[in-house]
Amino acid sequence: MDRHRRIGSEHPLFQEMAALTSTVRIMRRARGRKNPEDVAFGSPECDALSAEFMRDVCKAMGGDSDELNRLDL
């Protein structure tokens, strides 16, 4: 298997990934929280929101978001 192969719309898990991230975006918005696309790309706020978003995706997948904290996100 090619480690550098990109995951595109033809990948079997692509639709699941898209549904999960869409659900996280909707839930964040319903809670009054911003999503990364709501602020200027590359800004410090965007970086912080992206890290928060990834923690929320990790939680939605049943993972431990504290594991991500060790990666300094």
Predicted pLDDT of residue 9: 83
Half-sphere exposure of 41 (CA within 13 A, CB side): 1
Which pLDDT belongs to residue 11? 83
CA separation, residue 38 to residues 5, 25, 46, 62 (Å): 29, 11, 8, 26
Can you read off the two tokens belonging to residue 35? 């999503």
53, part of any domain: yes
For residue 52, being part of any structural domain is answered with: yes
Task: Give the residue ranges of the chain where pLDDT is below 70.
Answer: 1-5, 69-73
Contact 28/53 with Cβ under 8 angstroms?
yes
For the record, the structure tokens of 59 come out as: 């939680």
- Residue 29 counted as domain residue: no
- Within a domain: residue 25? no
In this prediction, residue 12 carries a pLDDT of: 82
pTM for the model: 0.76
- State the total domains in the chain: 1
pLDDT of res. 3: 63
Tokens representing residue 47 in the block:
């970086």
Q: Is residue 33 part of a domain?
A: no
Owning domain of residue 58: 39-73
Q: What pLDDT does 66 receive?
A: 76
Residue 19 placed within a domain: no
